[in-house]
Amino acid sequence: MLRKVVVVLLCSCLSFSTLEVHAWPSQKSREEYEKQGHIIWEAKTDQPIMALTFDDGPDPTQTIAILNVLKKYGVKSTFFVLGRRVKQHPEIVKKVMADGHEIANHTFSHAYFNAGSTSSFIRQEIERTQLAVYEVTGVKPTLFRPPGGNYNDRIINTAHLLGLKSVMWSWHQDTKDWTHPGVHKICDKVLKNAHNGDIVLFHDYVPGKTQTVQALETILPELQKKGFRLVTVSDLIRQSGNQQKVNQPDNHRAKAKHVVK
C-alpha cells in the first residue's frame, strides 16, 4: 500500500512539473503594460514629435536608399535589425550608426514568438542579436520589437530582464509597406493620421521592389511642414518625459499590437 502511495505522489509531482514547464504564459491588457513601462506603442506628449522606425534590415540596397533620404531631410530614425542580417551586412549597420540613427533588436531570425515559445528560445533570439550588433558597433541595443508585434508576459519579461524596453507602433501608423500597397496609400496612412508622439512602422527590407523610399520623399517634407520633429524612439521617450526607464540588467547579464494568447 505504501509503495502505491509513493508511486502516486511521484506521478503527481512529475505531472505538476510538466504543467509548470509547459504552462501557457499570461498576458495583460495594453494599458497594464503601458503602466508598467515595459511596452510603448506611442508617447504621450504635447510636443510635435514623432519617431519613424524601420524593421527587418539591414539591406545593402533598400537600407542605403532610405538612409540617403533621411539624410537629405535631416531626420534621425530607429532601425530594428535582424541579427542574421547584421552578420551578413555589418558595413550597413556601421553606416546606420555613423549617420546618427539608432539600432534596435528585432530578433535574430525574425522569429514569430507565440504562446508556445519557451523563455530560452526567446532569450536566445534576442541575445544572439545583441551580440551581433555589439560585435559590429561596440554598443548593445536597449530597445526590442518582437516580429509581428506579438506579445505576452513571457516575451516581454524576457526582454525586460535582458535590459530591453519593448517597442510596438501606433496602431494608426502601420504603413503595411511590405504588402506593396502603393506609394500614395503609404503616404496617406502616415500624413492623414499624424499625431504628437506617434511611432510609425516602415520596413527597410521588403521582398521585391520597395515603395517606402519613394513614399518617404513625400512624407518627410510634409511632416516637417506640419511642424513635426522626427526623432529616434529613445529620443521620443526622453523628450516626452513620461515613460519609465528600461530595466538595467546586472553586470553579469550585460557582459533580449498583437497579444499572443
Name the residues annotated as catalytic: 55, 203
Please say whether the beta carbons of 226 and 195 come within 8 A. Answer: no
Cα(147)–Cα(1) distance, integer angstroms: 54
Cα(68)–Cα(49) distance, integer angstroms: 21
Query: Measuring CA to CA, how many Å separate 104 from each of 55, 79, 194?
Result: 9, 6, 23
Cα(88)–Cα(179) distance, integer angstroms: 24
- Longest Cα–Cα distance of the chain, Å, equals 84
Other beta carbons less than 10 A from residue 164's beta carbon: 25
